[in-house]
């Protein structure tokens, strides 16, 4: 069993609360919603992602016998409770924004409606999955906007925060419009296209660069992209020009070169000139090396003749904004709306829906967050995805979610598509009836 | 099989290079070293961590039949190569800094000596593990320095970047001196002490706060820590005072309260006064809510009467520095030292050792990085941990690594123990013979 599939990949307090709910016979229906409280500095929108992993998690949720034994040995839990915990399955309903939907603050991305022990237990893992993929998809979207039509490859697994971060970053980046990833297992698990050529170590292990280029080309004739910055970039480009006819006689075509260090714009121009004057106009230039969407935009704005980008650490760690201020909060219990009042962390109570309004040109205009039962104009965004613990439809393909993300990004107003913070953030209104309900709850005694 | 255990959790280029090494019959011994190029802004030292996970990975490294089938279907690999890949095991040597060792830039934390296909293949995952745990242990160490003697609990799993990030963050933080974690599975997998009480949702699901406090106390009588900021912190503290005698009659003692929002210093003072004047001097105050080591230090410096801290997102994402500029580089192949010259990314060639020099008072004075064969004064830090694919000793316990980290931090000079950037960074000298070797390699043609 992978670690992410263990029901005990959770916070201990979920279990202490479940013991208390059990003792107090509290098993009524709870409604929790996952939402983002604030956009990180410099982000103008989010792309919802992670739902598919959440649904898989809910489908297979169960505490194993070995895990129950560990809890028993640890103490603090009653036998009748542990028995109930072993029998617990997720039998609730899930409403959510489809993956790839553009979304904003205060909007529920996922709503869980289930007996409170179930809805409570899943909090930590649901947060973890929705947070990570929404974070990375939203970061990746910025590179997609910065480099339309370019090849964009996720290179970040090695500095992602562990195995799952690397895999889900590859998935989320592809969903947001990346061309693919370097991570093989993401190809196996999610069908993300996988790219890769060679490292500096391969070049260095050879007596000289030309031997390395020749050896690699013969070994991978369909995928000859040569790394040319190990020693001297322009000299290496000239070596490629001299080697190309020899390889051509063997029926091998050099497809591209990769730059990974130095002044990428200057090197790309010099290398392009060397390749072109050497008759290698078809050979593409791919670049990597501490890139992020701002550097990519700058390189392209400067006219650097670069055809593709490998983006690693900045993408997989969302390095400028490595987390979202997100939460999963109780909004209703036993039919009554609930509200947390904590200073600076108050929530909007009740089961909510997001209604989207479009401008005449088809771009997003504003959203209204309203109680589900409060009829509103606009397009409702949350849809039912699970009822009584079963999916309402087969899993959506990643290709379909990716197409949605592309369509959504195409409908973003121009000022939200900029990498710089929008002067005017996207408008998310709280419907009057929701404001009233919140005020009413604030007046109640506790 | 967990995702982290798949040999194909790697970059595709490792496999394309392995195919080329196979075709070129390159199988000589390679030496790769993992090191950090630069400390992130504001970090004065690192704590090495992740070695135990690397050794487990190397021990079980193998490509499964299903994975070979996937590669076969994808294309680009020869049958004889795939057969060799299926038979590949790690048979090399590993030298490393023991976990918890204080370390600095340019110092190898791990050295791999193995036939080049093996040493190459393991790059991506070795980097991922060493990077993540060293990053988080080094971040956690700052909170430990900021709050000596306080209870420090990792609360970050929900916003860690996925399952493995949450688990390994719990391990790395404990190694660095945290008291424990909220993450149950980290207790099961690594024996990290697990802490936890209740969330706001538990309070909100009850008709009123006092019912929630009473229900929880009866359900978890050995662990009564009550969350008091859901509605009004000081009012809730007074409710605790009124409830305590009733619970005492049932033999239940309130152990603590938790604050999670607002001005924590002001609330802690007010709550302390309420508890003390209510006869609850023994009840501790635990705080959480967007904390990091700087806020913890500030709270304690202000005299806030807080006994423990839950630190979450900032710890598990190392939010101020979410990655390390680290690398795993070829330093020698077939007996010859190798050097990457790429601009701004040149490496120190050859098999290296770190020699540590101490001041007369026992604190760290400076380190010298030298070629392994170059006799030096000082204490050598890298030790052999694996020979021919087998550990030289049983796995070190996490407790032992944690004790080492504590001893190392106690020996750090005062200016490195500050949270602010040290005016004078720790001195890491490159030995003259290593400088000479690097210069010599620079003069060689490629």
- How confident is the model over A314-369, as pLDDT tens digits? 999 999 999 999 999 999 999 999 987 777 777 899 999 999 999 999 999 999 99
CB contact under 8 A, A197 and B19: no
Q: Has residue A26 been placed in a domain?
A: yes
pLDDT at position B310, please?
98
Rounded to a whole number of angstroms, the distance from the CA of A130 to the nearest CA of chain B is 9
Rounded to a whole number of angstroms, the distance from the CA of A30 to the nearest CA of chain B is 8
Kindly state whether residues B271 and B285 are assigned to the same domain: yes
What strands lie across the sheet with A180-181, from one edge to the other? A180-181, A151-154, A308-311, A284-287, A256-259, A225-227
Give contacts of B124 with chain A, Cβ < 8 Å. 157-158, 183
pLDDT at position A301, please?
98
Q: Has residue A305 been placed in a domain?
A: yes
Kindly state whether residues B377 and B399 are assigned to the same domain: yes
Q: Has residue A254 been placed in a domain?
A: yes
pLDDT at position A341, please?
75
Residue A2, pLDDT > 80, answer no
pLDDT at position A343, please?
72
Rounded to a whole number of angstroms, the distance from the CA of B41 to the nearest CA of chain A is 14
Kindly state whether residues A112 and A36 are assigned to the same domain: yes
Kindly state whether residues A332 and A310 are assigned to the same domain: no
Banded pLDDT at A3 (limits 50, 70, 90): low
Determine phi and psi for B362, rounding to 5 degrees: 90, -5
Identify the domain boundary among A316, A348, A381: A316
Portion of chain B with pLDDT greater than 90, in percent: 94
DSSP state of A220: S
Kindly state whether residues A103 and A34 are assigned to the same domain: yes
Q: In this structure, what CATH number is given to the domain that contains residue A271?
A: 3.20.20.70
Give contacts of A161 with chain B, Cβ < 8 Å. 132, 135, 160-162, 164-165, 169, 317, 322
| A173, A315 contact by CB (below 8 A) | yes
Give contacts of B129 with chain A, Cβ < 8 Å. 162
Q: For residue A323, give the nearest of B6, B159, B183 by CB distance.
A: B159
Give contacts of B6 with chain A, Cβ < 8 Å. 185
Count the domains in chain B: 2
Rounded to a whole number of angstroms, the distance from the CA of B405 to the nearest CA of chain A is 22
Kindly state whether residues A155 and A190 are assigned to the same domain: yes
Q: For residue A317, give the nearest of B183, B202, B322 by CB distance.
A: B322
Identify the domain boundary among A316, A331, A360: A316
Identify the domain boundary among A261, A292, A316: A316
CB contact under 8 A, B330 and A200: yes
Q: For residue A165, give the nearest of B161, B230, B343 by CB distance.
A: B161
Mean pLDDT of A60-84: 97
Tell me what the pLDDT averaged over chain B comes to.
96
C-beta neighbour count of B242 within 10 angstroms:
10
Q: Has residue B141 been placed in a domain?
A: no
CB contact under 8 A, B317 and A198: no
Q: For residue A330, give the nearest of B13, B70, B201 by CB distance.
A: B201
* Candidate from A271-275, A367-371, A418-422 with smallest mean pLDDT: A418-422
Q: Report d(CA B330, CA B111) in Å as an integer.
A: 10
pLDDT at position B88, please?
98
A104: its two tokens: 């904003």
SS3 B23: helix
Higher pLDDT, A345 or B79: B79
Residues A130-166: pLDDT tens digits?
999 999 999 999 999 999 999 999 999 999 999 999 9
Kindly state whether residues B19 and B114 are assigned to the same domain: yes
SS3 A226: strand
Kindly state whether residues B291 and B347 are assigned to the same domain: no
Q: Has residue B402 been placed in a domain?
A: yes
Q: In this structure, what CATH number is given to the domain that contains residue B51?
A: 3.20.140.10
Mean pLDDT of B4-18: 94
Q: Has residue B310 been placed in a domain?
A: yes
Determine phi and psi for A99, rounding to 5 degrees: -60, 140
Tell me what the pLDDT averaged over chain A comes to.
96
Give contacts of A67 with chain B, Cβ < 8 Å. 188
Higher pLDDT, A129 or B338: A129
| A234, A228 contact by CB (below 8 A) | no
Kindly state whether residues B362 and B302 are assigned to the same domain: no
**Contacts with B440 (C-beta within 8 Å, 6 or more apart), sequence order:** none
Q: Has residue B337 been placed in a domain?
A: yes
Kindly state whether residues B122 and B219 are assigned to the same domain: no
Q: Has residue A339 been placed in a domain?
A: yes
Kindly state whether residues B366 and B432 are assigned to the same domain: yes
SS3 B240: helix
Residues A287-313: pLDDT tens digits?
999 999 999 999 999 999 999 999 999
Q: Is the pTM of this model over 0.80?
A: yes
Q: Which domain holds residue A171?
A: 151-316
Q: Report d(CA B263, CA B362) in Å as an integer.
A: 41
Interface contacts (A, B; CB < 8 Å): 367
pLDDT at position A5, please?
81
Beta strands in B294-396 (DSSP E): 308-311, 325-333, 336-337, 352-358, 364-371, 379-380, 383-387, 390-391
Q: Report d(CA B92, CA B384) in Å as an integer.
A: 11
Residue B136, pLDDT > 80, answer yes
Kindly state whether residues B243 and B157 are assigned to the same domain: yes
Residues B31-72: pLDDT tens digits?
999 999 999 988 999 999 999 999 999 999 999 999 999 999
Mean pLDDT of B73-81: 97
Q: Nearest chain B Cα to A213, which residue? A: B20
Q: For residue A223, give the nearest of B76, B166, B183 by CB distance.
A: B76
């Amino acid at each position: 069993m992978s670690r992410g599939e263990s029901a005990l990949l959770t916070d201990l307090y979920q279990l202490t609360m479940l013991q208390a709910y059990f003792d107090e016979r509290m098993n009524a229906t709870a409604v929790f919603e996952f939402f983002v409280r604030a956009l990180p500095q410099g982000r103008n929108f989010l792309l919802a992602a992670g739902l598919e992993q959440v649904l898989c998690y809910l489908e297979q949720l169960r505490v194993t016998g070995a895990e129950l034994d560990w809890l028993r040995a640890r103490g603090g839990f009653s036998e009748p409770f542990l028995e109930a915990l072993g029998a617990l399955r997720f039998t609730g309903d899930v409403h959510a924004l489809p993956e790839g939907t553009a979304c904003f603050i205060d909007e529920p991305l996922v709503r869980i409606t289930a007996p409170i022990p179930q809805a409570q237990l899943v909090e930590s893992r649901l947060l973890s999955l929705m947070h990570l993929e929404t974070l990375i998809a939203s970061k990746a979207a910025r590179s997609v906007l910065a480099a339309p039509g370019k090849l964009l490859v996720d290179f970040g697994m090695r500095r992602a925060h562990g195995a799952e971060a690397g895999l889900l970053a590859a998935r989320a980046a592809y969903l947001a419009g990346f061309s693919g990833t370097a991570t093989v297992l993401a190809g196996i698990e999610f069908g993300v296209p996988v790219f890769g050529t060679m490292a500096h170590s391969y070049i260095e292990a050879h007596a000289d660069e030309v031997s390395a280029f020749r050896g690699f080309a013969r070994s991978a004739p369909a995928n000859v992209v040569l790394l040319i910055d190990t020693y001297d970039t322009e000299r290496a480009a000239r070596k490629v020009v001299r080697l190309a006819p020899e390889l051509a006689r063997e029926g091998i075509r050099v497809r591209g070169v990769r730059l990974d260090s130095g002044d990428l714009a200057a090197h790309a121009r010099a290398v392009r000139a060397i390749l072109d004057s050497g008759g290698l106009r078809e050979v593409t230039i791919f670049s990597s090396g501490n890139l992020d969407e701002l550097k990519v935009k700058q390189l392209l704005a400067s006219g650097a003749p670069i055809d593709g980008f490998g983006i690693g650490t900045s993408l997989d760690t969302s390095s400028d904004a490595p987390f979202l201020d997100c939460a999963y909060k109780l909004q209703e219990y036993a039919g009554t709306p609930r509200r947390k009042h904590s200073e600076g962390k108050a929530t909007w109570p009740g089961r909510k829906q997001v209604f989207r309004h479009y401008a005449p040109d088809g771009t997003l205009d504003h959203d209204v967050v309203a109680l589900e039962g409060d009829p509103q104009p606009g397009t409702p965004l949350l849809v039912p995805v699970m009822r009584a613990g079963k999916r309402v439809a087969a899993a959506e393909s990643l290709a379909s979610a990716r197409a949605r993300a592309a369509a959504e990004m195409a409908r973003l107003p121009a000022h939200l598509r900029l990498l710089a913070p929008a002067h005017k953030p996207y408008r998310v209104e709280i419907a009057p009836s929701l404001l009233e309900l919140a005020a009413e709850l604030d007046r109640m005694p506790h």
